[in-house]
């Protein structure tokens, strides 16, 4: 990557600003970004009022930020974000060791997707830094923060939240968020202590159960999978079987990871699509990378390892309209079902409907010799729970729409 040096005249002061450009078409430069803004003098004054040690980060954000943010975002908020990111960069050993590009793109940014731009970084830093200070490595810090983030922030999963794409402060005010808000919150909490993180998701799973969002962390030179509430083993999440069925060639069923600034692709923010069912009509201003194949390969590798080790066996689930009628395809019903092992979700999906072959069952590979709980809703909207014990051999379980 090339280095460029630009001169910025601000309040009579000549400042040398050194920045790198990342995926920026036509070598867009800081001065061009400032001139194209609706408030060039205010942006110049921001540099004059900011300590020189923050100029590189400030220049990177202004150069690469969305034009709407450049025109309207609170500049005091932008400055606060830069100062606290810079502080974390120099406070934590793992942040000091980051490649510059990783720091600039996956720690420094002031937003994740299209959430409200609010003052999250100072608040999350003050919550998470004392915990991170007790950790020796980045991996320890990732597990520690994810293990205690519900306690630190008071935010829990709840679909009664006000909106999908909540900012951290919106979620903390309500004490609740759905998967999108939780993922935004976790990304920002990790970034607040210098841990590179990004938002990942799909517009829809393969069986059209809807979208899902989660988090990736950059550890030892590679992106690893995690999620709010899942502080244990990285990369082993409940949705990996679903991820293995994603389609990299179909935007609705592909998996994307966000990227700050200019990117080769864009993230399908389905929460913006109330007026259209076509994913192509969604806003395209959040950059992204198509990471579907990575998830397919990772899921297949995990499945092969589990089968070879002999530690797992299959749970197969069929959905029927009512008990006593389980012999014909017409008896079957497509029902959403989630599988839990204690408080940890192990998977979820749809049972096959009446047009599927009778041998087509929703199947999940699970650890042997454990007891699991199936959770699903009946025809009256009541949550049903069914306990299933799995030993050494595969098990088939039936669930019923009409209780």
Give the CATH H-level superfamily of domain 311-400. Immunoglobulins (2.60.40.10)
C-alpha pair distances (Å), 296 with each of 175, 204, 242, 243: 34, 15, 9, 6
Within 8 A by CB and 6+ apart from 88, the residues are: 95, 107, 125, 129, 192, 193, 194
What architecture does CATH give domain 112-300? Roll (3.10)
Position of tokens 């709407």? Answer: 68
Indicate the pairing of strand 344-350 with strand 287-290.
Answer: unpaired
pTM: 0.82
Q: What is the pLDDT along the chain (403 residues), one digit of tens a residue?
A: 333 333 333 333 333 333 333 333 334 579 999 999 999 999 999 999 999 999 999 999 999 999 999 999 999 999 999 999 999 999 999 999 999 999 999 999 999 999 999 999 999 999 999 999 999 999 999 999 998 999 999 999 998 999 999 999 999 999 999 999 999 999 999 999 999 999 999 999 998 888 999 999 999 999 999 999 876 679 988 888 889 999 999 999 999 999 998 899 999 999 997 666 789 999 999 999 999 999 999 999 998 998 889 999 999 999 999 999 998 889 999 999 999 999 888 988 889 889 887 878 889 999 999 999 999 999 999 999 999 999 999 999 999 999 8
CA–CA distance, 252 with 236 (Å, rounded to integer): 23
pLDDT of residue 105: 97
Cα angle, residue 53 at apex, residues 49 and 54 outer, rounded to 5°: 65
Pick from 65, 145, 169, 47: nearest CA to 110: 65
With CA atoms as reference, report the closest residue to 110 among 232, 192, 226, 218: 192
CB 54 within 8 A of CB 82: yes
CA angle 316, 200, 91 (to 5 degrees): 125
Residue 323: strand pairing partners = none
Residue 276's pLDDT is 66
Q: What is the 3-state secondary structure (H, E, C) of the chain?
A: CCEEEEEEEECCEEEEEEEECCCCHHHCCHHHHHHHCCCHHHHHHHHHCCCHHHHHHHHHHHHHCCHHHHHHCCHHHHHHHHHHHHHHHHHCHHHHCCCHHHHHHHCCCCCCCCCCCCCHHHHHHHHHHHHHCCCCCHHHHHHHHHHHHHHHHCCEECCCCCCCCCCHHHHHHHCEECHHHHHHHHHHHHHHCCCCEEEEEECCCCCCCCCEEEEEEEECCEEEEEECCECCCCCCCCCHHHHCCCCCCCCCCCEEEECCCCCCEECCCHHHCCCCCCHHHCCCCCEEEECHHHHHHHHHHHHHHHHHHCCEEEEEEEEECCCCCCCCHHHECCCEEEEEECCEEEEEEECCCCCCCCCCCEEEEEECCEEEEEEEECCCCCEEEEEEEECCCCEEEEEECCC
Q: Which two tokens stand for residue 10?
A: 């601000």
CB atoms within 10 A of CB 99: 11
Instruction: Give the residue extent of every domain in the chain.
Output: 112-300, 311-400
The predicted pLDDT at position 209 comes to 83
Six token digits for residue 155:
């935010």
Q: What is the pLDDT of residue 262?
A: 84
- The pLDDT of residue 306 is 87
Rounded CA-CA distance 220/235 in Å is 14
């Amino acid at each position: 990557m090339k280095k460029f040096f630009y001169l910025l005249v601000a309040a009579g002061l000549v400042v040398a600003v050194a920045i790198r450009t990342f995926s920026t078409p036509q070598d867009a430069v800081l001065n061009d970004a400032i001139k194209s803004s609706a408030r060039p003098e205010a942006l110049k004054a921001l540099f004059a009022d900011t300590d020189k040690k923050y100029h590189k980060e400030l220049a990177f954000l202004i150069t690469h930020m969305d034009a709407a943010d450049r025109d309207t975002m609170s500049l005091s908020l932008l400055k606060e974000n830069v100062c606290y990111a810079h502080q974390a960069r120099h406070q934590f050993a793992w942040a000091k060791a980051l490649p510059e590009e990783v720091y600039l793109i996956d720690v420094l940014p002031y937003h994740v997707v299209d959430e409200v731009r609010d003052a999250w970084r100072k608040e999350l830093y003050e919550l998470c830094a004392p915990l991170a200070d007790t950790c020796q490595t980045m991996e320890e810090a990732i597990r520690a923060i994810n293990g205690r983030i519900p306690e630190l922030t008071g935010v829990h999963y709840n679909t009664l939240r006000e909106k999908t794409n909540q900012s951290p402060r919106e979620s903390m005010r309500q004490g609740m968020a759905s998967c999108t808000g939780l993922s935004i919150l976790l990304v920002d909490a990790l970034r607040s202590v210098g841990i590179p993180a990004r938002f990942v998701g799909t517009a829809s799973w393969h069986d059209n159960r809807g979208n899902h969002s989660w988090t990736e962390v950059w550890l030892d030179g590679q992106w690893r999978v995690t999620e709010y509430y899942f502080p244990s083993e990285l990369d082993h999440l409940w949705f990996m079987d679903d991820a293995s069925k994603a389609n990299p060639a179909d935007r609705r069923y592909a998996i994307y990871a966000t990227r700050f600034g200019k990117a080769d692709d864009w993230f399908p923010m389905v929460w913006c699509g109330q007026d259209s069912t076509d994913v192509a009509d969604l806003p395209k201003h959040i950059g992204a990378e198509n990471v579907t194949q990575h998830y397919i390969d990772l899921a297949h590798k995990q499945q092969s390892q589990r089968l070879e080790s002999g530690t797992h066996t299959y749970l197969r689930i069929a959905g029927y309209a009512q008990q006593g009628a389980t012999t014909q395809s017409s008896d079957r019903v497509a029902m959403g079902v989630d599988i839990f092992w204690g408080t940890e979700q192990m998977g979820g999906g749809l049972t096959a409907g009446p047009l599927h072959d009778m041998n087509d069952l929703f199947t999940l590979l699970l650890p042997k010799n454990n007891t699991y709980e199936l959770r699903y809703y009946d025809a009256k909207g009541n949550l049903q729970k069914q306990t299933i014990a799995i030993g050494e051999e595969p098990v088939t379980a039936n669930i019923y729409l009409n209780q």
